[in-house]
Amino acid sequence: MEIETIGVVGAGQMGNGIAHVMALSGYSVRLNDIDQAALDKAVALIQRNLDRQVSREKISAEARDAAMARISPTLHLAEVAQTDLVIEAATEREEIKHKIFEALVPELKPETILTSNTSSISITRLASRTDRPEKFMGFHFMNPVPVMQLVELIRGIATDQPTYDACLAVVNKLGKTAASAEDFPAFIVNRILMPMINEAVYTLYEGVGNVRSIDQSMKLGANHPMGPLELADFIGLDTCLAIMNVLHDGLADTKYRPCPLLTKYVEAGWLGRKTERGFYDYRGEEPVPTR
């Protein structure tokens, strides 16, 4: 089917980025959240990010204005359901995602494709709670969405070929690259990335190195653009912990056991950049290691 309208559920870090790239590529976007303040914040952020692209001569002012005109914020989930493709980008908690899809189903058009931006949760299990498992798949963008080139496309056990082809066509229109992943915990990127971050936290926990030495070692010794602890703060330590728990529970292998220090930081509410404290303290002019 030809996708023309996109519904995005969740106006947070991922949702606003998805709305941004979809609108810039010519899709009409309905951006939903349960909180008006979150919607206002998302629209303002999209405007600033598009302005930055104009100032760097990545896009024209006309393209920016056209993209903003294609985005319709809404508090009503039923309006999102009337699109061709819905991308759920809510918080990484399975019970919340189930509630969203259960609320969407009665309002959907027969041909609407449902997808989730989940970074780790079973696509097959999410799809099983809907009326269209064959038209359901994982559509996992990387953060920050306007910058990162990869999109993981994850088939559930029931996903049909036309659904996959329609989602692949969207990725191609965005000018991004699709990686096909099977529906196993954390898919490809996070299956590899999160254990590395978790091992970096263990290295800190066991006193092998401090925050700065661990990050410098991986940046200068492995040529990573960001150190693993800096990257964990950027992603959100709660998200890192949630993905490690999905890996540990889903694969039943002790090598995926979340580091107790990661759990402790999350319990403290030190979740990284979004709370201004994580492995670094961001409340001053320069980030300062917390250990």
Query: Is residue 217 among the annotated active site residues?
Result: no
Catalytic residue status for 152: yes
Catalytic residue among 32, 116, 119, 198: 119
Catalytic, out of 88, 152, 198, 230? 152
Contacts of 3 (CB under 8 A, 6+ apart): 27, 84, 85, 113, 166, 169, 170
Catalytic residue check, 140: yes
Catalytic residue, chosen from 116, 117, 122, 140, is 140
Q: Which residues pair with 154 in a beta bridge?
A: 138, 181
Would you call 210 a catalytic residue per the annotation? Answer: no
Alpha helices in the chain (DSSP H): 13-24, 36-55, 61-69, 77-81, 94-104, 123-128, 161-173, 189-205, 211-221, 228-235, 237-251, 260-267
Q: How far apart are CA 73 and CA 95, in angstroms?
A: 24
Q: Which of 88, 190, 198, 230 is catalytic?
A: 190
Instruction: Give the catalytic positions in this structure.
Output: 119, 140, 152, 190
